[in-house]
């Protein structure tokens, strides 16, 4: 499914979404038509003019927009069937010290379940059982995201399930932090961080996880994963951010990220701004840090906050 197309024209792509849901992309025409079938019923695509995309613009960003605008809402609707699942094992009986691999797998299954409430009910039970924000983020949410990614890489989980699972995980993340507001550090005006993905990079869950850790530590967080370069630089100019954090997942964007970091420093002028990078690419190839001009690389939310604090302390002393 992810292999390169042979010949001059890409073949149609069929994605099996559910036992009764199929998605069909036909990339052989400029209109980029889309057909979705639920059971025996076809869902008509919107006017083809909406998908008029020139071949040279068919990059990851264009496909991501199409999926977000048209496919995901239909698949989410198709998933809304089934009874709620029982409470998780981890929330029953004595509270375990940590989540096991089976717990992570169980949570991932609930994220892609037909019942959209299944994962939320599980998280509710865990909060009531006394799990902390750090425990939920670091030992459940983050491993579950990685688990879904592995299932996709191994072709054991379909495109729609992984996409919907990640969307639900992000929704749970957004609702989780307010529930732990009383345990978060008091916000400090001198601790501001701007977090965004490299424009064009569609992997954004890691940025939102890091944002939660910064908010937990009392940082004022400006997180907008969909910022374009011009808008991002405008934020750098308008806001006195101590740290700008950028996420990257593909080596293809390295030249653009190097230019973006140089523009961030130019826009900040004489004001010192620490530039942090993160993402699986840097976890696997930390030597790239020296090639792009960033100040430090963080492998997760905990290290991101600790390294940002160290950078700010060092900056005050110079």
Domain assignment present for residue 48? The answer is yes
Residue 61 and residue 21 in one domain: yes
Domain assignment present for residue 3? The answer is no
Nearest alpha carbon to residue 213 among 278, 297, 304: 304
Residue 131 and residue 202 in one domain: no
Residue 127 and residue 228 in one domain: no
Domain assignment present for residue 29? The answer is yes
Residues in the chain: 318
Each residue's pLDDT tens digit, 107-164: 999 999 888 899 999 999 999 988 988 889 989 999 999 898 888 888 888 888 888 9
Do residues 298 and 307 lie in contact, with contact meaning Cβ atoms separated by under 8 Å?
Answer: yes
Residue 312 and residue 210 in one domain: yes
Residue 148 and residue 203 in one domain: no
Domain assignment present for residue 264? The answer is yes
Each residue's pLDDT tens digit, 179-211: 888 888 888 888 999 999 887 776 778 888 999
Each residue's pLDDT tens digit, 263-307: 999 999 888 999 999 988 888 888 888 889 999 999 889 999 999
Q: Residue 216 carries which DSSP code?
A: H
CATH number of the domain at 149, please.
Answer: 1.10.1240
Residue 175 and residue 197 in one domain: no
Domain boundary at 53, 79, 105, which? 79
pLDDT at 51 over 90: no
Residue 250 and residue 296 in one domain: yes
Domain assignment present for residue 7? The answer is no
Q: Which domain holds residue 119?
A: 89-183
Residue 116 and residue 148 in one domain: yes
Residue 230 and residue 256 in one domain: yes
Domain boundary at 160, 183, 206, which? 183
Do residues 170 and 205 lie in contact, with contact meaning Cβ atoms separated by under 8 Å?
Answer: yes
Domain assignment present for residue 176? The answer is yes
Residue 260 and residue 205 in one domain: yes
Residue 270 has, within 13 A of its CA and on its CB side, a CA count of 0
Domain assignment present for residue 8? The answer is no
Domain assignment present for residue 33? The answer is yes
Nearest alpha carbon to residue 209 among 151, 257, 166: 166
Mutual angle of helices 205-216 and 159-179, in 10-degree steps: 10
CATH number of the domain at 303, please.
Answer: 3.40.50.280
Residue 45 and residue 108 in one domain: no
pLDDT at 5 over 60: no
Q: Which pTM value belongs to this model?
A: 0.66
Residue 29 and residue 106 in one domain: no
Mutual angle of helices 159-179 and 118-128, in 10-degree steps: 30
Please report which confidence band the pLDDT of residue 260 belongs to, taking 50, 70 and 90 as the band edges: very high
Q: How many domains does the chain have?
A: 3
Domain boundary at 47, 79, 111, which? 79
């Amino acid at each position: 499914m992810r292999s390169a197309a042979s010949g001059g024209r890409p073949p149609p792509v069929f994605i099996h979404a559910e036992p009764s849901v199929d998605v069909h992309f036909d990339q052989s025409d400029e209109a980029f038509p889309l057909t979705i079938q639920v059971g025996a019923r076809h869902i008509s695509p919107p006017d083809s003019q909406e998908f008029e995309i020139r071949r040279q613009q068919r990059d990851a960003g264009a496909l991501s927009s199409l999926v977000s605008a048209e496919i995901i809402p239909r698949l989410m609707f198709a998933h809304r069937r089934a009874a709620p699942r029982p409470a998780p094992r981890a929330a029953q009986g004595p509270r375990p010290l940590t989540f096991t691999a089976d717990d992570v797998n169980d949570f991932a299954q609930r994220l892609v379940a037909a019942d959209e409430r299944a994962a939320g009910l599980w998280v509710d039970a865990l909060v009531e059982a006394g799990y902390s924000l750090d425990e939920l983020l670091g030992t459940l949410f983050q491993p579950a995201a990685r688990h879904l990614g592995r299932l996709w890489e191994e072709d054991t989980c379909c495109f729609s399930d992984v996409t919907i699972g990640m969307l639900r995980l992000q929704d749970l993340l957004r609702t989780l932090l307010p529930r732990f507001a009383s345990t978060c550090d008091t916000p400090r005006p001198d601790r501001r961080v701007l977090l965004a993905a490299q424009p064009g990079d569609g992997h954004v869950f890691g940025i939102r996880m890091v944002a939660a850790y910064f908010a937990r530590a009392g940082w004022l967080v400006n997180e907008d994963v969909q910022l374009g370069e011009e808008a991002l630089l405008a934020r750098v100019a308008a806001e006195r951010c101590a740290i700008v954090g950028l996420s990257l997942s593909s080596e293809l964007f390295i030249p653009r990220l190097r230019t973006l970091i140089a523009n961030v420093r130019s826009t900040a002028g004489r004001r010192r701004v620490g530039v942090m990078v993160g993402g699986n690419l840097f976890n696997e190839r930390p030597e790239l840090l020296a090639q792009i001009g960033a100040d430090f690389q963080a492998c997760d939310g905990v290290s991101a906050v600790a390294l940002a604090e160290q950078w700010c302390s060092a900056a005050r002393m110079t």
